[in-house]
A and B are shown apart, each in its own frame.
Chain A
Amino acid sequence: MSVPETITVFVPRDAAALAVGADKVAAAIEREAKARNRDVHIVRNGSRGMLWLEVLVEVRTDHGRVAYGPVRAADVPSLFEAGFLAGGDHPLCHGLTSEIPFLKNQTRLTFSRCGITDPLSLEDYRHYKGLTGLQKAVAMPPADIVKQVTDSGLRGRGGAGFPTGIKWKTVADATADQKYIVCNADEGDSGTFADRMIMEGDPFVLIEGMAIAGIAVGATKGYVYTRSEYPHAIAIMEEAIAIARREGILGPSVLGSAYAFDMEVRMGAGAYVCGEETSLLNSLEGKRGIVRAKPPLPALQGLFGKPTVVNNVMSLASIPVIMDRGAEFYRDYGVGRSHGTIPIQLAGNLKHGGLYETAFGLTLGELVNEIGGGTVSGRPVKAVQVGGPLGAYFPPALFDTVFDYEAFTAAGGLIGHAGIVVFDDSVDMLKQARFAMEFCAVESCGKCTPCRIGSTRGVETVDKIARGIEPEKNKVLLEDLCNTMKFGSLCALGGFTPYPVMSAMTHFPQDFAPAPVREAAE
């Protein structure tokens, strides 16, 4: 009797898969395999990012990995009947995973391993070119690392788009007994999940990026500040850090070099404003997450008053590939002054929602209608919010806007953390404008008046417009209030809340018409 062949089956452990029953699917596969006397090895990988297909189960075959999805536990017996362990056909089969157009057409640099590997297998990480960037970094003068990052054209992926290399140089040039690397993983924007996905799907790439940053600027300690709403990301990051420490990637001698670097994960406590870098630093220090005035820049006086690099997860996770493949390689992707790739998150009312990493330069319309496949409800798209709760709403008339930093600024918006939330024609834009103000009022740290008071007055003014109380006068007042918030607020919370409010009012004036007209139109 021949020894039965072990077949590798992948069932993601990403929160997006767990939330639709991945653990139950994995258990069902195990149970069924046992009952049928088949030798199956289940790998809990990260997510491929095709979230409409979760739970996306893959089977390793001689031709490559074959995808099945969305799989529910109840589908598992029929998958076995169809011979899925050999890549057999089934109504849920999508053929080779790598050939699915949504995935095939991407340029995955930052997410190159996500969904392919076991996120906690250092062996997998090394096999897929992990740690080569860090190996190069430890053998280089730190100033050359900073130069390479500067030359790559990488700009902060958190929203502001500030050149990462320049930030690093400021910290590197500062003299201090202690410097810090702080990773802003406080991904609170609705419509965004790239940080969560990389932390759950490829945590070592973030660790590697932070270690490189530490070596480049002379920091020996790093913190990942993330959200209490992300328990799975926290657990995987902590496990990965422990492994990295054990394997000499973190600790007193990074990869056997003279550099020391260690890091830990810190959990926020449900305050949206802590995604703002100075508020985040106060929170890390154990204070109220109140925004600090700048200057002093965090690069010079950051965490505990020490020079600190504060970078978003995506920025730091892009560092290893830049170090590995070179600044030129990364810089060659993109358009204008937006270099490299950006992991775009397609969310909301979309047929094909998920993570799409691509070079800058696609249009908003291509992203929504072609890649995202239009609305899942089948109704026409009415508005698209780009960049989270502080991002502008775009009507389909602006779908030719090119996805890069400058084009979005010119169109009165921002790309923020590159989340796109699609709404169909059932959305009431006045309600969305009210929500933006209400959210700002709930989440305001309270330090500056335009944000603290302005947001509450904003809710009241939108309510007056909705009730038809002097609507024309109140629309002028709302616009004036938005200007005050935009130019008078200390940080992006109060400063950018006007984007969704003003864009809703400008592009969808019919929703702000006086109440009798609104009712008549319905």
Chain B
Amino acid sequence: MNVRVVAVDEATRIAAIIEDCRHLEGPMLPILHKVQAEFGYIPEGAKQIIAEALNLSRAEVHGVVTFYHDFKDHPAGRHTLKLCRAEACQSMGGDALAERAKAKLGLGWHETAADGSVTLEPVFCLGLCAQAPAAMFDGELYARLDEDCLNDIVAEVRA
């Protein structure tokens, strides 16, 4: 596979997403969410294509992409573990649990394992504040998170 073919394929997929969202008022965020869902991150090349379609400069699109925590500039691991770091989870030992998760996975915040198995992200509130600590693992919510639950998650990552 040569690089140019990949780029052409990427551009086609991005163009289709833009076409899909064009009718919306303020289509930028919906487009970026779909691009992120499609590729797992916002490819550098997407910015120019989106800019041209929306009559913006590439810098403006870059500015939007980099403003929001959700948009990534590189792919995440096969699994993503998001641990809540906000106050309600802190009140139930969330910080200590997060430290243990970091040690078990051998990762810091925003890091991806060398084997690409998992990415560890902080999240500030999942709205499960009466059942803290909370986490989101591959889109699934976990409340009243404890050591056992954490071990299960780590085992799944290693599987």
Contacts and interface: CB of A to CB of B under 8 A. Distances in A.
Interface of A: 15-16, 18-20, 51-52, 54, 187-193, 196, 221, 228-232, 266-272, 283-290, 304, 345-350, 353-354, 376, 385, 388-389, 419, 421-424, 427, 432, 435, 439, 443, 445
A191 B68 contact: no
B70 A228 contact: yes
Contacts, number: 151
A69 to B, nearest CB: 12
Given A346-B130, A423-B91, 6 more contacts: A19-B126, A266-B26, A271-B67, A271-B68, A284-B29, A435-B87
A427 B91 CA distance: 7
Interface residues of B, number: 40
Nearest to A436: B87
Contact of A289 (B67, B125, B139): B67
Nearest to A272: B124
29 contacts: A16-B128, A16-B130, A19-B126, A20-B131, A20-B143, A190-B89, A192-B127, A193-B127, A230-B127, A269-B32, A269-B71, A270-B70, A271-B68, A283-B29, A284-B26, A285-B26, A286-B29, A286-B64, A287-B28, A288-B63, A304-B25, A345-B129, A345-B130, A347-B129, A348-B132, A349-B92, A350-B130, A419-B129, A445-B67
B29 A271 contact: no
Interface string B118-149: 00000111111111101010010111100000
Contact of A271 (B30, B69, B88): B69
A269 B64 CA distance: 10
A353 B131 contact: yes
B50 to A, nearest CB: 10
A18 B90 contact: no
A193 B129 contact: yes
B116 interface: no
B33 A267 contact: yes
B130 A353 contact: yes
A286 B127 contact: no
Interface centre among B124, B127, B136, B142 (most CB of A within 10 A): B127
A80 to B, nearest CB: 25
B129 A192 contact: yes
A289 B28 CA distance: 12
B75 interface: no
B68 A286 contact: no
Contacts of A232: 141
Contact of A19 (B63, B88, B141): B141
Nearest to B50: A286
A350 B92 CA distance: 9
Contacts of A385: 87
A286 to B, nearest CB: 3
B86 interface: yes
Contacts of A419: 88, 129
Contact of A269 (B68, B128, B129): B68
A19 B128 contact: yes
Interface of B: 25-30, 32-33, 54, 63-64, 67-71, 86-92, 123-132, 134, 136, 139, 141-144
Given A187-B127, A283-B29, A270 B91 contact: no
Contacts of A272: 124
A79 to B, nearest CB: 20
Given A189-B125, A267-B29, A270-B69, A51 B131 contact: yes
Given A19-B134, A266-B30, A283-B29, A229 B127 contact: yes
A289 B131 contact: no
Q: Lowest 10 A-B CB distances belong to which pairs?
A: A286-B28, A353-B130, A190-B86, A269-B68, A347-B129, A270-B69, A348-B91, A19-B143, A19-B141, A269-B70
Nearest to B54: A286
Contacts of A188: 124-125
A286 B65 CA distance: 10
Contact of A190 (B71, B124, B131): B124
Nearest to A197: B127
A512 to B, nearest CB: 18
A229 B29 contact: no
Nearest to A286: B28
B91 to A, nearest CB: 4
Nearest to A287: B64
A346 B91 CA distance: 13
A353 B86 contact: no
Contacts of B71: 269
B87 to A, nearest CB: 4
Nearest to B63: A288
Nearest to A189: B125
Contacts of B25: 221, 304
